C-alpha cells in the first residue's frame, strides 16, 4: 500500500482489500505507519495482501520472521488507514448530499430585471410605431406622393406578411440563439430600417423606396413579439411572470398610440393643396420618427442579457438545466393533433384581423364616410386606449376567477356584437355615434 516512487512524496494507493475490523491489527501499527511515511518507503499492494495472509494463516511459510512481522505492521496499518479514509469520505459525501437535499434552493430576482423588461418594451414600442406611422394620414400621403392608398396601407401589410413568413424562423432562433443575441439584432435592425426610410425618401422623394426601409424594420418584428414569454420566464419569478408578460405585450398598443397621435401633428389636410410643403413635412416627420425609434431601440442593444446570475424560479432552473434538443417539427406535430388549440387559433386569427383593420388602417376605412385625418387619429386613440383598460380589466379577472374559456366567449360575442353595430354607426359620419362604438369594440378585442 505504501510504494511511492523515489522522486515523489509518499501517497496512499486506492484500497484493494476487503474491510477488516480494527481489532485485527496490533496496537503499534499506526506508529509503524508513521515511521514508514517519514522514511518515504513502504510495500506495494501485493505485499500488503501477502503479509495479511502470513499474519492470519500459520501455515504460510516465513523465512524471515522479524522482517515479515515488520511488513505486517506496515501493510496492516496502511490498509486500515486507506479503508478508514474511504469510509470517512463516503460518510461525509452522503451527509453533504442529505443536507443539500433537505435545504431548498433559494431563488432570487435581480433589480435589473425591470430594466431588461423596459428595454424590450421600448424596442417593441418602436416597432409598433413604425408599423402605424401612416395609418391616420394614409389618404393625405397618397395625394402628396400620387400613389394609391393601397401602397400606403402596405406599410402595415408588410409587417403582417413578415410575421407569417418568419414566425417559425423566429421561434427557432429564440430557442437556438437565445433571447439576448436575437433581441440585440432586432434592435439594430430597427435602427437601420428607420434611418433607411428617412434617407431614401428625403433623397429621392419616391414613396416606393420608403417601403424598403419599412420592410427592414418589419423583418425584426416576429423575433421580438415571440420572445416576451421567454424573457418573462428567464428573468421573473412565478408571481411576477404574468405581469411581466402583460407589460411586454402592452408595448404594441402603446406604439400604435404613438403612430396614431404623432402623424397628424406633422401632416394635415392642408398639405393636400401644397404637395411640396407636404413632402417637406414628411421629411421632418421621418427624421423625428428615426430619432425617436433609435432612442427606444438602443437600450435593448446594451442592457439585454440571456438570464440573471441567480435563477428566479424553478421553471427557469429546469429550463437551463435540461439538455433536450429543440425540435420544431415535433412540437408542430403535437399541436396539429390538439383540436382545442386549432379552434382557439382560428378564433384568435379572426379577432386579430379585426384589431389590425381598425387599429392600423383605420383612415382607409373611415375616410369614405367623411372623416378627416384628425378624426381618424381620435378614433384610433379611442380604440387603443379603451383596449388598454380592457386588457387590465380582463387580466385581473383572469387572475381572480381563472375562467379562461368563459372570458374568451365574452370577448368573442362582444366583438361580434359591436362590429355589427358599427355597420350602422359608421355610415352616419358622426364621431358622436362611431367613437363610443369603436371604443367599446377596442375594450373587448384588444385583450386577446
CATH code: domain of residue 206: 1.20.1250.20
Q: Cell 394620414 appears where?
A: 137
Whether 435 shows a pLDDT value over 70: the answer reads yes
- Looking at per-residue confidence, does 263 or 324 come out higher? 263
Which residue in 274, 425, 411, 261 sits closest to 351, CA to CA? Answer: 411
The burial of 368, by beta-carbon neighbours within 10 Å (0-12 exposed, 13-18 middle, 19 or more buried), is given as exposed
Residue 236 is predicted with a pLDDT of 84
Whether 262 shows a pLDDT value over 80: the answer reads yes
Residue 11: how many CB atoms within 10 A of its CB?
10
Q: How far apart are CA 359 and CA 380, in angstroms?
A: 6
- Per cent of the chain over pLDDT 70 is 72
- Give per-residue pLDDT as tens, 39-61: 444 444 444 444 444 444 444 44
Last-in-domain residue among 326, 343, 362: 326
Whether 282 shows a pLDDT value over 70: the answer reads yes
Residue 81 is predicted with a pLDDT of 52
Tell whether 13 is covered by a domain. no
Whether 126 shows a pLDDT value over 90: the answer reads yes
Residue 119 is predicted with a pLDDT of 95
Sequence-distant (6+) residues with CB within 8 A of 428 are 369, 434
Which residue in 311, 319, 332 sits closest to 178, CA to CA? Answer: 319
- Give per-residue pLDDT as tens, 180-225: 999 999 999 999 999 999 999 999 999 999 999 999 999 999 999 9
Residue 70 is predicted with a pLDDT of 52
**275: containing domain:** 104-326
CB 36 within 8 A of CB 2: yes
Last-in-domain residue among 55, 85, 102: 102
Tell whether 2 is covered by a domain. no
294-297 long-range contacts, CB within 8 A, separation 24+: 294/191, 294/194, 294/195, 296/122, 296/123, 296/125, 296/126, 296/129, 297/122, 297/123, 297/126, 297/187, 297/188, 297/190, 297/191
Sequence-distant (6+) residues with CB within 8 A of 12 are 1, 2, 78, 81, 82, 85
| pLDDT band with cut points at 50, 70 and 90 for residue 393 | confident
- Return mean pLDDT, the chain: 79
| pLDDT band with cut points at 50, 70 and 90 for residue 86 | low
The answer to whether residues 287 and 410 belong to one domain is no
Whether 75 shows a pLDDT value over 60: the answer reads no
- Looking at per-residue confidence, does 106 or 173 come out higher? 173
Tell whether 7 is covered by a domain. no
| pLDDT band with cut points at 50, 70 and 90 for residue 367 | confident
C-alpha cell at 193: 430600417
Whether 153 shows a pLDDT value over 80: the answer reads yes
Q: What is the mean pLDDT of residues 395-403?
A: 76
The answer to whether residues 207 and 60 belong to one domain is no
Sequence-distant (6+) residues with CB within 8 A of 260 are 132, 135, 136, 359, 362, 376, 377, 380, 381, 384
Whether 437 shows a pLDDT value over 80: the answer reads yes
The answer to whether residues 283 and 344 belong to one domain is no
Query: Residue 267: what are its φ and ψ, rounded to 5°?
Result: -125, 130
Whether 418 shows a pLDDT value over 90: the answer reads yes
The answer to whether residues 356 and 393 belong to one domain is yes
Q: What is the mean pLDDT of residues 322-328?
A: 66
Q: How far apart are CA 165 and CA 169, in angstroms?
A: 8
The answer to whether residues 142 and 88 belong to one domain is no
The answer to whether residues 172 and 271 belong to one domain is yes
Residue 407 is predicted with a pLDDT of 87
Q: What is the mean pLDDT of residues 236-247?
A: 79
CB 191 within 8 A of CB 135: no
| pLDDT band with cut points at 50, 70 and 90 for residue 89 | low
Tell whether 14 is covered by a domain. no
Tell whether 1 is covered by a domain. no
**DSSP 8-class letter at 18:** -
The answer to whether residues 272 and 421 belong to one domain is no
DSSP string, 241-307: HHHHHHHHHTHHHHHHHHHHHHHHHH--GGGGT-HHHHHHHHHHHHHHHHHHHHHHHHHHHHH--SS
Last-in-domain residue among 47, 72, 102: 102
DSSP string, 40-109: T----HHHHHHHHHHHH-TTS--S-HHHHHHHHHHHHHHHHHHHHHHHHHHHHHHHHHHHHHHSPP----
C-alpha cell at 100: 443539500
The answer to whether residues 189 and 156 belong to one domain is yes
CB 114 within 8 A of CB 231: no
Residue 91 is predicted with a pLDDT of 61
The answer to whether residues 193 and 231 belong to one domain is yes
The answer to whether residues 124 and 245 belong to one domain is yes
**Total domain count for the chain?**
3
- Per cent of the chain over pLDDT 90 is 35
Sequence-distant (6+) residues with CB within 8 A of 270 are none
Query: Residue 323: what are its φ and ψ, rounded to 5°?
Result: -115, 25
Q: What is the mean pLDDT of residues 416-424?
A: 93
- State which of 318-332, 371-385, 407-421 shows the largest mean pLDDT: 407-421
Helix, coil or strand: residue 5: coil
Q: How far apart are CA 409 and CA 285, in angstroms?
A: 42
Tell whether 421 is covered by a domain. yes
- Looking at per-residue confidence, does 409 or 357 come out higher? 409
The answer to whether residues 391 and 419 belong to one domain is yes
Q: What is the mean pLDDT of residues 344-372?
A: 82
Residue 64 is predicted with a pLDDT of 47
CB 190 within 8 A of CB 245: no
Residue 29 is predicted with a pLDDT of 43
Whether 15 shows a pLDDT value over 60: the answer reads no
Q: What is the mean pLDDT of residues 243-266?
A: 87
Tell whether 8 is covered by a domain. no
Sequence-distant (6+) residues with CB within 8 A of 176 are 326
Cα dihedral across residues 24, 25, 26, 30: positive or negative: negative
Tell whether 376 is covered by a domain. yes
Q: Cell 382560428 appears where?
A: 346
The answer to whether residues 47 and 30 belong to one domain is yes
- State which of 77-81, 235-239, 359-363, 425-429 shows the largest mean pLDDT: 425-429
Amino acid at each position: 500500500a505504501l510504494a511511492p516512487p523515489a522522486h515523489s512524496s509518499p501517497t496512499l494507493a486506492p484500497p484493494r482489500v476487503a474491510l477488516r475490523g480494527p481489532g485485527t491489527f496490533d496496537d503499534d501499527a499506526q506508529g509503524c505507519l508513521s515511521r514508514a511515511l517519514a522514511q518515504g518507503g513502504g510495500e506495494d499492494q501485493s505485499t500488503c495482501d501477502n503479509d495479511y495472509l502470513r499474519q492470519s494463516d500459520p501455515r504460510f511459510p516465513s523465512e524471515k520472521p522479524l522482517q515479515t512481522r515488520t511488513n505486517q505492521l506496515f501493510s496492516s496499518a496502511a490498509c486500515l488507514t486507506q479503508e478508514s479514509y474511504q469510509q470517512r469520505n463516503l460518510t461525509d459525501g452522503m451527509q453533504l448530499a442529505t443536507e443539500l437535499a433537505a435545504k431548498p434552493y433559494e431563488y432570487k430576482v435581480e433589480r435589473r430585471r425591470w430594466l431588461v423588461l423596459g428595454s424590450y418594451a421600448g424596442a417593441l414600442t418602436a416597432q409598433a410605431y413604425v408599423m402605424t406611422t401612416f395609418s391616420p394620414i394614409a389618404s393625405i400621403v397618397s395625394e402628396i406622393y400620387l400613389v394609391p392608398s393601397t401602397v400606403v396601407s402596405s406599410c402595415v401589410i408588410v409587417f403582417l406578411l413578415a410575421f407569417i413568413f418568419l414566425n417559425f424562423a423566429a421561434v427557432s432562433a429564440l430557442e437556438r440563439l437565445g433571447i439576448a443575441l436575437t433581441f440585440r439584432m432586432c434592435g439594430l435592425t430597427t435602427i437601420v430600417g428607420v434611418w433607411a426610410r428617412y434617407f431614401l425618401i428625403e433623397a429621392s422623394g419616391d414613396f416606393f423606396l420608403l417601403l424598403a426601409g419599412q420592410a427592414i424594420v418589419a423583418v425584426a418584428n416576429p423575433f421580438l413579439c415571440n420572445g416576451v414569454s421567454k424573457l418573462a420566464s428567464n428573468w421573473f419569478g412565478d408571481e411576477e411572470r404574468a405581469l411581466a408578460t402583460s407589460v411586454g405585450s402592452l408595448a404594441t398598443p402603446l406604439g400604435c398610440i404613438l403612430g396614431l397621435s404623432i402623424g397628424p401633428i406633422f401632416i394635415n389636410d392642408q398639405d393636400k393643396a401644397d404637395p411640396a410643403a407636404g413632402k417637406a413635412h414628411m421629411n421632418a416627420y421621418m427624421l423625428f420618427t428615426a430619432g425617436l425609434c433609435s432612442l427606444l431601440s438602443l437600450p435593448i442593444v446594451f442592457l439585454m442579457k440571456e438570464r440573471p446570475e441567480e435563477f428566479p424560479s424553478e421553471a427557469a432552473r429546469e429550463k437551463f438545466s435540461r439538455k433536450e434538443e429543440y425540435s420544431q417539427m415535433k412540437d408542430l406535430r403535437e399541436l396539429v393533433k390538439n383540436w382545442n388549440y386549432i379552434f382557439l387559433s382560428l378564433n384568435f386569427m379572426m379577432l386579430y384581423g379585426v384589431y389590425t383593420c381598425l387599429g392600423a388602417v383605420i383612415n382607409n376605412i373611415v375616410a369614405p364616410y367623411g372623416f378627416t385625418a384628425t378624426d381618424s387619429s381620435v378614433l384610433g386613440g379611442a380604440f387603443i386606449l379603451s383596449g388598454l383598460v380592457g386588457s387590465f380589466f380582463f387580466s385581473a379577472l383572469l387572475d381572480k376567477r381563472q375562467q379562461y374559456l368563459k372570458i374568451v366567449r365574452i370577448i368573442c360575442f362582444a366583438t361580434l356584437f359591436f362590429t355589427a353595430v358599427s355597420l350602422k354607426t359608421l355610415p352616419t359620419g358622426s364621431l358622436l355615434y362611431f367613437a363610443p362604438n369603436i371604443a367599446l369594440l377596442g375594450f373587448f378585442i384588444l385583450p386577446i
